[in-house]
Amino acid sequence: MTTGWEVHPWMLRWNGLAVDQLRRTESVFALSNGHLGMRGTLDEGEPRGLPGTYLNGFYEEHALPYGEPGYGYPEAGQTVVNVTDGKVIRLLVEDEPLDMRYGRAHVHRRELDFRTGTLRRHTEWESPTGRRVTVRTERLVSLTQRAVAAILYEVEPSEDVQLVLQSDLLANEPVEHDSDDPRVAAALNEPLVSDFAHVEDFRAVLAHHARNSGLRMAAAMDHELEVEDGVRTEIRAEKDLARFTAAVDVPAGGKLRLVKYLGYGWSAQRSVPALRAQVEAALAGARQTGWEGLLAEQRRFLDDFWEVADIDLQGDDEMQQAVRFALFHIMQAAVRGETRAIPGKGLTGPGYDGHAFWDTEMFVLPVLAYTVPEAARDALRWRHSTLGKARERAAVLGQGGAAFPWRSISGAECSAYWPASTAAFHVSGDVSHAVAQYVNATGDTAFERECGAEILVETARLWTSLGHHDPHGGFRIDGVTGPDEYSAVEDNNVYTNLIAQKNLRSAADACDRHPDVAERLDVTAEEVQGWRKAADGMVIPFDSLLGVHEQAEGFTSHAEWDFDGTDADEYPLLLNRPYFDLYRKQVIKQADLVLAMHVRGDAFTPLQKARNFAYYEPRTVRDSSLSAGTQAVLAAEVGALQLAYDYLAEAVFTDVYDLHHNVHNGLHMASLAGAWVGLVAGFGGMRDHDGELSFAPRLPPGLTRMAFRMSFRGTRFAVEVEPGKVTYRIVAGGPLHTRHHGVPVVVEPGLPATLSTPDPPEPPDLRQPPHRAPVRRVPPGARP
């Protein structure tokens, strides 16, 4: 039995069992809906890599360690908690437990289906004493019933046997933690304190609270059991365990069928009885819908999602599979989050302690704004709900307005390293950028009035407080850190300044559109005039000698990094070189100025983009998974299509092939989003500056066709790229007003528009640091 991935356009299938790869496959096979997440552990619970069940926003607190504390340092950290595990279903054949480490698996495969939204398993197992059974399971986390998960478990023996099933709710299951901080490990050692346990018939409920944060949660399970003959059942519960047991004699060719329904909920305010009622109601709804009904709901939801979000590639089957994998995981990380954050790892693992970063606004939300805009809106509503904490943080830092955190679960700053966190004020501009982008993409004025305008106003106030007008008429923002984490505490970081400039103008425009909202927020005409003056005077450093923009003031005068003297195994540099040395050299962890040229491309000429990209490309080492997708966009824009495709592949395959060797802690949501960004913004040339939607499509090398779908202000449409031509087609809704390579186009329903594509520009001379070039991607169909 060959072990490994199998290529398929609509699913990800792993054949065989590799125990040493379980942590990796558990992340890849994770299911989520933005509220509830379950890692893809085996049904029987063992062998396992890193078990995990997560509720978005449910966390434990711990002290943040400082060797030398200082004013304004955050005092408490937050870490996502592995809550009560309801996935476990153990099988005993006679008295032998099904354990993939023992006996023999004649067939074993698992597959994540992107169209059904389920994780399926097929195992033909022979026990050590020679008894054979076939086990088929299917697991889902409902995309329509937010608190519900369900599992179908079927067993068919090849001879007359006695089968015993044990279905568990298990809290405080032992989990290994990677943190080097003993305070974090201590906080996560049995973090759940039992409040309530109850069983009745085939149903059980466990309620707990987190020991330090005090957050409460409840989990419940219920069962439907189908057998041909009599069955003996029992159910019991203690503080951390509820177990339903069924014993039955099944004849050869017979079948044991179990459906397990799960309900989850948590709250910082509701009582234990209220949470019990909530999860029992979720179970009642799931039972009423039934297993087949849940499957049908899941399929309908995903049919609608793929109608608006699918990307179809012809000529590279591996890329096709990985792109749909990426889109599926981005969708399920957010779609039922409903005013919760989208963590950097989604709900696929404990990486980054379950925190949300600026990645959400700058990488993930662009995908959602044009495919599942309701999910983008809900994520921004979460930011709005944390404005009070952001104002408090700004005040602690001696600034006005609101300063959103570098990393957080609740909205409070949780980073203990201020040069790369507190100083990264661009986060607040990133949030405002996402607000403006969402409003432009959807025309959702109700959201802008209720939430968006207030975010724009408070972040604009931060910039006018943080920056200052210099004697030369410029507006400066000094002492900040941009996206590049190998630079810190710089003056006039171009990305930060351009994001702030857009923030200031967006806030002023929103106040002009909604004067009553401006009045409610105490915005005066003088304040709006001050925002526009600051935006118009924003300092954008440019090195006239080299003819390139400086990443930050003085960056191009820094000493060059000794790339030739840096061995391949010294990357990532942050683990092998001192930050002191990184901060004062021209070495870039991830796209910074290059990211600015993507999201604020309206501030650069084509010649400037080409020269800037050629300068920064050999200095960017991509020690972050955030970088490749953005570099793909700029490579495509300047005409380096093969390089763009190579970077796209790196972003797309980061998790499927575990390129950074850390998928065991969860998937990289921003890198998965980079698949969409690289294809739609890169090869599709999609830009949305100031709400003006435009495209400049070019077919990637090796592909015979590329088609992607989007939604813009209620209109769903497809862009189909073939050699030498592009067709724009309305899928649903009204006409689309856009631009094709700079030429205005109106696409009417029922009247597709087919246009020619010009040749790409001649790319500049581009090279990468030694050992850091992306692996060249040659599509299988183009290989000799």
Give the Cα separation of 661 and 235 in Å (integer): 42
With a cut of 90, say whether residue 2 has pLDDT above it: no
Residue 420: the pLDDT is: 85
pLDDT in tens, 79-94: 999 999 999 999 999 9
Residue 418: the pLDDT is: 83
Percent of the chain scored above 70 by pLDDT? 97
pLDDT in tens, 287-306: 999 999 999 999 999 999 99
Q: Are 225 and 258 in contact (CB under 8 A)?
A: yes
Q: What is the largest CA-CA distance in the chain?
A: 90
Confidence of residue 676 (pLDDT cuts 50, 70, 90): very high
Q: Which of 74-78, 294-298, 653-657 has the lowest mean pLDDT?
A: 74-78
- pTM for the model: 0.96
Cα dihedral value 17, 328, 688, 486, nearest 10: -30
Residue 485: active-site member: yes
Give the Cα separation of 17 and 264 in Å (integer): 30
Q: Are 304 and 371 in contact (CB under 8 A)?
A: no
Question: Which residue among the candidates 138, 485, 527, 650 is catalytic per the annotation?
Answer: 485
pLDDT in tens, 567-604: 999 999 999 999 999 999 999 999 999 999 999 999 99
Give the Cα separation of 515 and 109 in Å (integer): 60
Residue 781: the pLDDT is: 47
Distances (CA, A) of 12 to 121, 633, 646, 779: 12, 26, 22, 18
With a cut of 60, say whether residue 1 has pLDDT above it: no
Alpha helices in 189-258 (DSSP H): none
Give the Cα separation of 419 and 404 in Å (integer): 15
Residue 783: the pLDDT is: 39
Q: Are 454 and 461 in contact (CB under 8 A)?
A: no
**Beta-bridge partner residues of 125:** 105, 133
Q: Are 31 and 37 in contact (CB under 8 A)?
A: yes
Q: Are 714 and 443 in contact (CB under 8 A)?
A: yes
What's the mean per-residue pLDDT of the chain? 95
Confidence of residue 181 (pLDDT cuts 50, 70, 90): low
Token pair, residue 598, equals: 């993507």
Q: Are 27 and 310 in contact (CB under 8 A)?
A: no
Helices and strands of the chain, counted as H and E runs:
20, 34
